[in-house]
Structure 1
Amino acid sequence: MKRIVSLLFLITYVCSAQETAITSSLYDTYDKYKEVTLNKRRIKHHELQPLLAKYRDNPKFTVQEVGSSIEGRDLSLVSIGKGDIDVFLWSQMHGDEPTATQAIFDILNFLDSDDFKTEKDEILNNLTVHFLPMLNPDGAEVFQRRNRLGIDINRDALHLQSPEGQTLKRVRDSLNADFGFNLHDQSTYYNAERTNKPATISYLAPAFNYEKDIDKKRGDAMKIIVFMNAIIQEYAPGQVGRYNDDFEPRAFGDNIQKWGTSTILIESGGFLDDIEKQEIRKLNYVSILSALHTIAKGSYNDISISDYEKIPENDRKLFNLKIENATYELLGKPYILDIGMNRLEVNTAEYKDFWYSSRIIDQGDLSTFYGYETLDATGYTLRSGKVYPEVLQSVDQLNTIDPMALLKKGYTYIKMKTIPSQLISSPIPLHLVGTSFKLPDFDIRVGANPTFLLEKNGALEYAVINGFLIDLKTEKGDFKNAMIYR
Structure 2
Amino acid sequence: MDWIVHHYWPELDRKHVRRADIEPILEHFRSRPEINIQLLGHSVQQRPIELVSIGRGKQVVLAWTQMHGDEPTATAAVFDIIEQLLSDNRSLVTQVLNHFTLHFIPMLNPDGAERKTRENAQGIDINRDARKRCSPEAQILHNAVSKLRPDIAFNLHDQNRYYGVGNTDELSTIAFLAPPFDQEQSVNHARGRAMSLIAVMRQVLEARINGHVARYMDEYSPRCFGDTIAAMGASTLLIESGEFPNDPNRQTARAMNRLAIFTALDAVSQNTWQDVGEADYFAIPANNENHWGDIVLRNVTFAGNANSVEFQTDMLIRKVEGEYQVAEIGDLADQRGITELGCDQLTLSRGEPYRVSEPLTLDDLAYRAILKNGYSHFIDTNDNLAVRTELPVFSTTQPLPTTFHKLPAIGILSTAGSPRYAVLGRKVVELEGEP
Report the TM-score, using the length of structure 1 for normalisation: 0.82
Does residue 1:101 correspond to 2:75, yes or no?
Answer: yes
Amino acid at match of 1:374: E
Q: Report the alpha carbon displacement of residue 248 of structure 1 after superposing the two structures with TM.
A: 0.6
SS at match of 1:333: coil
| Poorly superposed stretches of 4+, deviation over 6 Å | none
Deviates more, 1:95-104 or 1:381-390: 381-390
1:59 aligns with 2:39: no
For 1:463, which of 412, 422, 427 is the aligned residue?
Answer: 422
Partner of 1:18: none
Residue of structure 1 equivalent to 2:279: 306
Alpha-carbon distance between aligned partners in 1 of 2:400 and 2:30, rounded to the nearest angstrom: 60
Query: 1:433 Cα deviation (Å)?
Result: 5.0
Equivalent residue runs for 1:377-416 within 5 Å: 377-387=343-353, 393-395=359-361, 398=362, 401-413=365-377
Q: Relative to structure 1, is the Cα distance of residues 420 and 65 closer, same or farther in structure 2, using a 3 angstrom cutoff?
A: farther
Deviations, residues 255-294 of structure 1 (Å, cap 9, x unaligned):
1111100000001111223222222212212222222222
What is the match of residue 443 of structure 1? Answer: 403
Distance in 1 of aligned mates of 2:384 and 2:58: 61
Matches within 5 A, 1:299-448: 299-315=272-288, 316-328=290-302, 329-330=304-305, 331=307, 333-343=309-319, 357-387=323-353, 393-395=359-361, 398=362, 401-413=365-377, 419=383, 427=389, 431=393, 433=395, 439-446=399-406, 448=407
DSSP-derived class of the 2:247 partner: coil
Q: CA deviation at 1:205?
A: 0.2
Amino acid at match of 1:340: L
2: CA distance, partners of 1:148 / 1:327: 45
Distance in 2 of aligned mates of 1:54 and 1:277: 24
**Using the alignment, how far apart are the partners of 2:239 and 2:108 within structure 1?**
16
Residue 205 of structure 2: SS of its match in structure 1?
helix
Amino acid at match of 1:412: S
1:192 Cα shift?
Answer: 1.3
CA-to-partner distance for each residue in 1:440-465, whole Å, 9 max, x for gaps? 4421221x112222233454333212
Letter in 2 for 1:177: P
For residues 22-61 of structure 1, the aligned pairs below 5 Å read 22=1, 25-27=2-4, 29-31=5-7, 34-61=8-35
Please, which moves more after superposition, 141-150 or 103-112?
141-150
The equivalent residue for 1:351 is none
* Identical aligned residues as a percent: 34
2:417 and 2:240 map into 1 onto residues whose CA distance is 47
Query: Distance in 2 between the 1:168 and 1:136 partners?
Result: 11
Q: CA 1:48–1:413 in structure 2 vs 1: closer, same or farther (change >3 Å)? A: closer
Cα distance per residue 1:60-89 (max 9 Å; x no partner): 111111222222222211111111111111
Question: Do the aligned residues in 2 keep the contact of 1:404 with 1:475 (CA within 8 Å)?
Answer: no
The letter for the 2-side match of 1:341 is I
* Equivalence for 1:453: 412
Partners of 1:147 and 1:139 in 2: CA distance: 5
Deviation larger for 174-183 or 372-381: 372-381
CA–CA separation in structure 2 for the residues paired with 1:416 and 1:157: 47
Q: Residues 207-257 of structure 1, C-alpha deviation per residue, up to 9 Å, x if partnerless?
A: 111111111110110111111112222222211221111111111101111
Pairs within 5 Å for 1:217-232:
217-232=190-205
1:169 to 2:149 alignment:
no
Does residue 1:250 correspond to 2:212, yes or no? no
- How many angstroms does 1:180 deviate by? 0.5
Matches within 5 A, 1:105-116: 105-113=79-87, 115-116=88-89
Offset of residue 401 of structure 1: 5.0
Corresponding residue SS for 2:11:
coil
Q: 1:204 Cα deviation (Å)? A: 0.3
Q: Find the counterpart in structure 2 of residue 272 from structure 1.
A: 245
Check 1:430–1:289 CA distance in 2 against 1; reply closer, same or farther (3 A cut). Answer: closer
With the length of structure 2 as denominator, give the TM-score of the two structures.
Answer: 0.91
Rounded to whole Å, the distance in 1 between the matches of 2:395 and 2:106 is 43
Q: Describe the superposition over 1:373-410 as per-residue Cα deviations: whole angstroms up to 9, x where unpaired.
A: 11122242223323458855332xx4595444443332
Partners of 2:347 and 2:194 lie apart in 1 by: 52
- The code of the aligned residue for 2:404 comes to I
Residue 55 of structure 1, CA deviation: 2.0
Aligned mates of 2:218, 2:17 — CA distance in 1: 30
Change over 3 Å in CA distance of 1:296–1:393 after alignment to 2: same
Gaps of 5+ in 2: none
Deviation at 1:470, TM superposition (A): 2.0
Q: Give the Å deviation of 1:49.
A: 2.9
- Structure with bigger gyration radius: 1
CA RMSD of aligned residues (A): 2.5
